[in-house]
Amino acid sequence: MTIATRTQSMQNLAKGLGFYSPALGLAGGGGTAAAANSGLLNINLNFNSIGTTLWGTLVELQKPTGLGQTFMHGLYGIANGANVLNGLAYVYKIGTLVLTGTGNQLTHDAATFPVKRTRLGQASNALNLIPLITITTATTVTAPAFIIRNATGPSTGYVNQAGTAIQGTKTFTFPAAATGVGSTYVMRLEEGDSAVQDITKIDMQTAGSAGAATIWGMEILSVINTLNNGPAGFHDSLVGGLHMQDMAPAVAASGTATSYLVQFSFSSNSLTVQPLIWGATNS
């Protein structure tokens, strides 16, 4: 049955129906630090690197089969840098971007966005996603640059949090360095916009001599803060959130969205490695 209350969730835990899964985060090292025109924040997306090779093959954090609609979870994060915001999130693949050409270089995923789920009791609600770009083929010191718009016209590049089609004007410029594989940045949106429901075109203004990337939309499920260097943290959404978290991925408007359950970390320092254990109550 679907878990409807905190009491049911605690009863399931008492019956031994809790699910806890270890995950191995990104191997040592980190991505290339963000710059003023590349989002400023350093971000780490931790897929499960147990038994796979990042970034050509991606594996999400393990989940039990038959996930219901409401779950609690705990998250342990080990921070290797100060002032880190950690959490669990779904990332939905919007498309891939070639960094070595000019004009529109976005190849959109086959699924039709927005992705939708029931939120706060409202069914089939379009999700507002944080737009991220992850380097999958390293760049060189020549910094590629792009605007989220259609090069022809120019015209619409993304759909914002209000469902409005927007022609971007802000240039995103990669750091002036060889940008390492796995480096992830927040994409620049227009003033007043906080999220996207879809990205349709990306106009490459300056081509790099090498480089490719994946474009994600991130839905944050739950967060913890690690305020000092080294400690572990725990978050229980039964008592630390407004409601129990839905651990099933959202559904595309049509087709099947490519999604991964990941751990993320935003940091004011260099990218960090975040080993973790997460869990949910089975329905």
pLDDT tens track for 50-63:
766 777 788 888 77
* 144 conformational bin, left if phi > 0, alpha if psi -120 to 50, beta if neither: beta
Q: Do residues 91 and 132 lie in contact, with contact meaning Cβ atoms separated by under 8 Å?
A: yes
Whether residue 242 is contained in a domain is answered as: yes
Q: Across all residues in the chain, what is the average pLDDT?
A: 81
Task: For residue range 253-269, list pLDDT tens digits in order.
Answer: 999 999 998 888 876 55
Q: What is the distance between the alpha carbons of residues 193 and 99, in angstroms, rounded to a whole number?
A: 25
Burial classification of residue 69, based on how many CB atoms lie within 10 Å of its CB (0-12 exposed, 13-18 middle, 19 or more buried): middle
Q: Domain count for the chain, please give it.
A: 1
Whether residue 283 is contained in a domain is answered as: no
Whether residue 224 is contained in a domain is answered as: yes
Listed in order, strand segments (DSSP E) in 111-211 are 112-119, 122-126, 130-137, 145-147, 158-160, 165-166, 171-173, 184-186, 196-199, 203-206
Task: For residue range 183-226, list pLDDT tens digits in order.
Answer: 899 999 999 999 999 999 999 999 999 999 999 999 998 776 65
Q: Do residues 187 and 39 lie in contact, with contact meaning Cβ atoms separated by under 8 Å?
A: yes
Task: For residue range 79-113, list pLDDT tens digits in order.
Answer: 455 556 777 889 999 999 999 999 999 999 999 99
Q: What residues make up the domain containing 232?
A: 29-101+111-143+174-189+209-268
Beta-ladder partners of 229? none
Q: What is the distance between the alpha carbons of residues 116 and 9, in angstroms, rounded to a whole number?
A: 25
Q: What is the distance between the alpha carbons of residues 173 and 43, in angstroms, rounded to a whole number?
A: 16
Q: What percent of the chain has pLDDT over 90?
A: 42
Reduced DSSP (H G I as helix, E B as strand, rest coil) percent helix, strand, coil of the chain, to 5: 5, 40, 55
Q: Can you list the alpha helix ranges (DSSP code H) found in the chain?
A: 6-14, 237-240
Whether residue 149 is contained in a domain is answered as: no
Whether residue 274 is contained in a domain is answered as: no
Whether residue 72 is contained in a domain is answered as: yes
Residue 32 structure tokens: 């290339």
Phi, psi of 219 (to 5 degrees): -105, 110
Residue 25 structure tokens: 């985060």
Q: Give the per-residue pLDDT at 28.
A: 46
What is the pTM assigned to this prediction? 0.89
145 — pLDDT class (breaks 50, 70, 90) = very high
Phi, psi of 69 (to 5 degrees): -100, -20
Q: Give the per-residue pLDDT at 78.
A: 53
Whether residue 249 is contained in a domain is answered as: yes
Highest mean pLDDT of the ranges 52-61, 154-163, 169-178? 154-163
DSSP letter at 189 equals -
Q: Give the per-residue pLDDT at 167.
A: 97
Q: Do residues 63 and 88 lie in contact, with contact meaning Cβ atoms separated by under 8 Å?
A: no
Q: Do residues 47 and 249 lie in contact, with contact meaning Cβ atoms separated by under 8 Å?
A: no
Whether residue 23 is contained in a domain is answered as: no
Q: What percent of the chain has pLDDT over 70?
A: 72
